[in-house]
Each structure stands twice: as C-alpha cells, then as structure tokens.
Amino acid sequence: MPVKTTLALSISTVLALSALSSAALGGTISFNPVAFAATDAQKREMVAADTATVNRKPADIGFNTLLRSGDTLPLLGGAPGQIARYGLLIGQDGNPILENGNPRISNDNDFNSLIPVDGKLFLVSQFESRPGGVYLTQLNQETDGTLTPVATRPVDFSAVNGGFTHCAGSVSPWNTHLGSEEYEPDARSWVDPTMTISAYNAQTAQYFGGDGTPDSAKTLMNPYDYGWVFELAVKNAAGDTTVAKHYSMARLAVELAYVMPDNKTAFITDDGTNTLLAMFIADQAGDLSAGTLYVAKWNQIPGNEAMGGRANLTWVNLGHATDTEIATYRDNGTTFADIFEYEAVPNPDTGTCPTLTSINSGHAAPYHECLRIKPGMEKAASRLETRRYAALKGGTTEFRKMEGITYNPENRVLYLALSEINSGMRGAAEDSSRHLGGNDHIRVPRNDCGGVYSLAVGGAIRDTNNQPIASSFVPRAITGIIVGKPISGDPKNACDVNGIANPDNLTYLPRFKSLVIGEDTVTGHQNDVIWAMDVLTGKITRVLSTPYGSETTSPYWYANIGGFGYLMAVAQHPYGESDQDKLIADSGDERAYTGYVGPFPILK
C-alpha cells in the first residue's frame, strides 16, 4: 500500500491548490507498489511497478532495459559491419581511452533524453565519468510502444575540449538535450602552490592522451573548460549533432539546468557542500548563449523546521554575459590568479582575513577563503568563478547536495531536491566550519536523509538592487514539503525504508499531481528506489527498486512520444557505491541499466 508521509505546503501553494477543481487538475494515476527489497534475490533486481491505473483504467507497464554499459550495436552512420560499444570513453583523437591497457567502459550512465527528430527517435545518454562521455542511439518504436535500440555512436566533444562528470539534465522546450558537468575542477589548485590538483579532476587529462596524474592535468587541462551546462541538438534524421557549452550561464558543480515555459528563464542546481541556486534569464527565447545571471538569497523565517525550514527568497544580480565574451577569457588563458587576489586564512582560522574579503563557499574544501576581485575582472569572475563571486556579492552559498529540480505548471511551483540537509545548512552554532567567515543565512535542523522543497514562482519581482527581473517565473519563497526519517538500529538502512532517503532527480507528471523522486543514497537505503508522490495528499508509492550499490538516475517524464508515455530510469554503477562483496565475479551485473518504465497510454 502507498505510504502516508507528512506534507507541508507554503500558504500560497495551499491557496492555489484549494482554488483548483479536480477537473482542472486533470486525471489520476496510481502505481501498483514495488515491494521493499528484503531478500538477497530482491536486492539484486532491477524491477518496476508492473501495472498502473490511469484514469481508472489499468495499464500494463514495467521496467524495460534498452541498453547496458558495454553493449554493442551497429555504429550509427557507419559502414555495414562497423560496431560501437555503448559507454566506451573516447579521447580527443577519437580513439578509446585505455585503463591498464583495456578500454574504459563507463558504468556511470546518468541522464538520458528522448529526442524525436524528423520521424526518427533518438536517445542521448550522458555518462558521469572523468572524462565524460555522451552517446547518441537511434531507437525503434513498435506499434505497442516498445522501444528498441537500432544503432549508436559516441558524440564528438573535441570542439569544446571534452566533457566532464555529466550528471543530470533536462530536455529544453525546443527539443534539445541540456546536459551538465558536475563538480567543476577548482582552478585555484592550478596556480596556488599550497594546493594540489585532485586525482578526481586529474583523470580528465586522459582525454588529451595524458596519464591522468596531477602533473599531466596541469600541463594538458584548462580547468575553466569544465563545469558548464552544455546543449546538444540532434539536427536531422541522420543523427547529425551540434554541441555547445553555455559559458554565459554559470560555472558550478552543475547538477542540471531546467528551462521554464517562457523559454528564457532557467534554473541551475549546484551539487556539493556550500553551494547555491542560480537563475539565468536569456536575452532571447530559445537561445541560452546570452543573458543575465542571478543567485538566490535565503531569508529565513520561523516555522516548518521538522520539514527542512522555510524562507523568503530574494535574488542577487550577478550581471550579464554572452558565451562569446566568457569563451574569450578562457581562450586567452585566464587563470584564477588573473581574477582574484588571494591570501592564506589565519591559523588557527578565526573567520577573518588579514586584508581581503572573507567568504565560505565551494563544492569541496577549502570553504573559507580570503579573496578580492582584481579590477576589471568582475564579468570573468561572475561566470568562471560563479560560486565564489556569488558569495562575495552576498548570495547564499550554504546549500548541501542540491540535486534535481522540476516544475508543476498547474500550481506554478518548482520542486527542488536536497539530498542531505546538513553541513552549511545547519547554522554556525551546529557546524561552524561551514559558516566560518561566511554569510550564515541558513539555520535548519540536521537531516541526513534529505528532503524536497517547493518554490512558489511569480512575476513583478525586483532584485536586491531594486531592479526589475524580466521573468514571470521568479521564486519568491521556499519551504520543505517532504523529508526522509533518520532511524537507528538498521546498519543497512539509516533512513526509514517506508520513506525517501537522499532524494536526487525529480520529474513531475503534469495534470496528474504526481511528483517522481529518485534516490541517490549509500547508507540511507541499501537499495535505492524511485517513488511517486501525490502532491495533494503526500502519499508516496515505491515504483522502482535497483540492485545493490546502485544510484537511481534519469527519472524524466515524456507524456507523448509517438502516442505513448515513458518514464526514463537508470540504475547507475550497480554494486559500485556499496555491497561490492555481493557482486558475483564475471557475472557482468555491475553494468549500468538504461531503460524506461512503461509504456503508458497517453495521459490526458
């Protein structure tokens, strides 16, 4: 049976909901719940709800595997007999990247988009690896809605110096794939002799033929090549593509960018510790190459503490830029030292700086820094070093593990997942190191199981400089609506198994009042799941369960592809985050699953 979970909604959302009739809200959908994975056999399964009830009519669904990492298919656009291996990472020269003499096959498939073009259907798959990888796969749709892969190929990223840790994503209103580059390299470590380039970042040097060590990274990589929203367009039925990184938007630990119905306003989520929520407003609808960037400021108000707190939001203007302007800085070899003056923080750290401005931000340490922007480098700082610049300008850089974002158009509400509510969100009294020398805007109780927030949007809003913001989709307030429940006594499940744990990607089913919540949890739940939540009642239903050590990625709703609905879903790196001892040698069970739940009848 579905599980009842406490739900808290902002006053504006409650009023909006009460004013809508059930007819205006649309139809109904419910899922036959997936059982909690209790046995070893269940914990090895990739299984979804086998039926759904849509407008009181039953529909047979289930999880359908399209591809698994390492699968071979005909090479898309190649000569007869040529094959491609799905998930094989490719270097700048077009050759496979080798590890210990063997081709690197990524089990880190993350976001997948369905892109129909000129009567053909394509799957764009991005891999959360360093270097990153993206594959384009042509699909065939049967008369019953079943999808099958036909041919695939890696997408060439050499024109943008490769990809990096491609995490979540979205599909733009104009039918392009919006991808991400998470956990951007810290450019300070390239120039500050007291720091070293992390092994995590240095792996990307393999794209250029390097050995993946910090020394090869310093020689071959420009850190400012990574940390961007990228846009991939499928141009025609042959599968020709173009790729652009949008330097005008923001350089962050980009989880994803999500474009609103005006085709101009986009929200960018920033993963990690002490991060931010960004809003970008494009100059022209359908064109993300130029626009104005804002960062949210959390203005806390009392109440809702058990659900993660609440706040009014104001927006700090970080200025206007174009892709071309920022690419010029990068191409001219601009470094962190060209943008900032910096000095060592006091020892022991007291939260002050000898002469420069104190901030506390970043997706990884160091969090407390002493900086000053060099004259004439504000625009470069706003995009190449967005989080540091935002902190200097007074924005909130205290969020923890900011993940998915999606939109409920009936109620004009965004939903935002925070995988954990801790660290910089706890307030200086509880976690001084994540606030030391910073703004200390967020002060909410710790919840390591995370939660989902609603953000009511509207227009006629001014920024913190009292200038009008040119969008009718600006969030005015944020409030927690569902959280996981920490428990003790279960070494494999630190969060109640009848509720969410560490929410990650989100998607919303318009007119059906259903918010889909995917998990990325190591200790919260032994087996990560995807839930469907009725946003009116708060009831949640387990609709998919993944094997040991997996992360659920890519839940994304397609209401009508060729007359059917699809909920995309991926099990990333099975047996990879935990329970490695459960993997049966040479079984191939560690390969990622890429597929969908469905097909659904058109929901109308």
Per-residue pLDDT, 288: 98
Q: Which residues contact 332 (CB under 8 A, 6 or more apart)?
A: none
Point out the least confidently predicted range of 7-11, 145-149, 235-239, 268-272: 7-11
pLDDT confidence band for 12 (50 / 70 / 90): very low
| Residues 454-495 pLDDT 10s | 999 999 999 999 999 999 999 999 999 999 999 999 999 999
The helix (run of H) or strand (run of E) holding residue 43 is: helix 40-43
Residue 417 has what pLDDT? 98
Average pLDDT, the chain: 94
Q: Which pLDDT score, from 0 to 100, does residue 569 have? A: 98
The strand order across the sheet containing 29-31 reads: 29-31, 51-54, 57-60
What pLDDT, on the 0 to 100 scale, is given for residue 435? 86
* 15 pLDDT above the threshold of 60: no
Alpha-carbon span 446 to 380, nearest angstrom: 35
Residue of higher predicted confidence among 186 and 349: 186
Distance from the Cα of residue 576 to its chain's centroid: 19
The CA–CA distances, whole Å, from 211 to 99, 146, 575 equal 9, 43, 27
Residue 393 is predicted with a pLDDT of 98
Residue 365 has pLDDT above 60, yes or no: yes
Residue range 137-169, pLDDT digits in tens: 999 999 999 999 999 999 999 999 999 999 999
Q: How confident is the model over 275-295, as pLDDT tens digits?
A: 999 999 999 999 999 999 999
Tell me the β-bridge partners of 313: 298
pLDDT reading at 34 higher than 80: yes
The fraction of the chain above a pLDDT of 70, given in percent, is 95
Of 22 and 124, the structure prediction assigns the larger pLDDT to 124
Read off the pLDDT band of 93 (50, 70, 90). very high
Q: Answer yes or no: are the C-beta atoms of 498 and 513 closer than 8 Å.
A: no
Q: For residue range 484-537, what is the model confidence (pLDDT) as tens digits?
A: 999 999 999 999 999 999 999 999 999 899 999 999 999 999 999 999 999 999
Contact 453, 408 (CB under 8 A): no
The pLDDT tens digits for 407-461 are 999 999 999 999 999 999 997 778 788 888 999 999 999 999 999 999 999 999 9
Compute the average pLDDT of residues 108-133: 98
What number is the average pLDDT over the span 567-582? Answer: 97
Report pLDDT for 20: 39
**pLDDT confidence of 603, banded at 50, 70, 90?**
low
Predicted local distance difference test score (pLDDT) of residue 348: 81
Confidence category of residue 604, pLDDT binned at 50, 70, 90: low
- 3-state SS, 65-119, equals EEEECCCEEEECCCCCCCEEECCECECCCCCECEECCEECECCCEEEEEEEEECC
Q: Is the pLDDT of residue 11 over 60?
A: no
- Tell me what pLDDT residue 351 has: 87
Residue with tokens 């850190």: 223
Q: How confident is the model at residue 402 (pLDDT cuts 50, 70, 90)?
A: very high
Decide: 190 and 216 in contact? Cβ < 8 Å. no
The pTM is what? 0.94
* Mean local confidence (pLDDT), 184-212: 96
**Surface-to-core class of residue 300, CB atoms within 10 Å of its CB (0-12 exposed, 13-18 middle, 19+ buried):** middle
Looking at the chain, the whole-number percentage of residues with pLDDT higher than 90 is 90
**pLDDT value for 430:** 80
Report the pLDDT value the prediction gives residue 4, as an integer from 0 to 100.
36
Report whether pLDDT(1) > 60. no
With cut-offs at 50, 70 and 90, classify the pLDDT of residue 26: low
